Amino acid sequence: MGLGNAESSEQFLSGGGEMGKLIRSMDWSQTALGPIENWPQSLRTSVSLCLSSTFPILIAWGPETIQIYNDSYRPICGEMHHRSMGMNFRILGQIGAERNPYFDRG
């Protein structure tokens, strides 16, 4: 028969190295993004591109700037890595809007 709804809705997360594995293991319903199966197509596409890239990429999505990043970006997080994925970029902010006024323009 085909894949179950939850399984097929997460197909865009296949691969993606360690960060892909971390994203798949997280309970996103506890974040402002909500459950993965409810993510908009634009976010799914962005995350898929992010995870497949060897270039360091951080996505800070929505008004809450929820962080999703790939393996290449992980070293940039440093010791904040374990708290960064799925958290508000400005709260944990490596760069933070207060230190980088260009962030709010994006």
User: What pLDDT sits at residue 72?
Assistant: 95
User: What pLDDT sits at residue 8?
Assistant: 55
| DSSP codes joined into one string, 14-46 | S--HHHHHHHHHS-GGGSTT--GGGS-HHHHHH
User: What pLDDT sits at residue 66?
Assistant: 94
User: What pLDDT sits at residue 78?
Assistant: 81
User: What pLDDT sits at residue 67?
Assistant: 94
Domain containing 53 equals: 5-105
Whether the predicted model's global pTM rises above the 0.85 cut: no
Question: What are the φ/ψ torsions at residue 101 (nearest 5 degrees)?
Answer: -65, -15
Closest of 64, 16, 5, 68 to residue 38, by C-alpha? 5
Per-residue pLDDT of the chain (106 residues; tens, 9 = 90+): 344 444 456 788 887 899 999 999 999 999 999 999 999 999 999 999 999 999 999 999 999 999 999 999 999 888 787 788 999 887 755 444 454 454 455 4
User: What pLDDT sits at residue 3?
Assistant: 42
Tokens 């760069």, residue? Answer: 95
CB-based burial of residue 99 (10 Å sphere; 0-12 exposed, 13-18 middle, 19+ buried)?
A: exposed
- Report the chain's terminal Cα–Cα distance, integer Å: 43
Count how many domains the chain has: 1
Cα(93)–Cα(100) distance, integer angstroms = 10
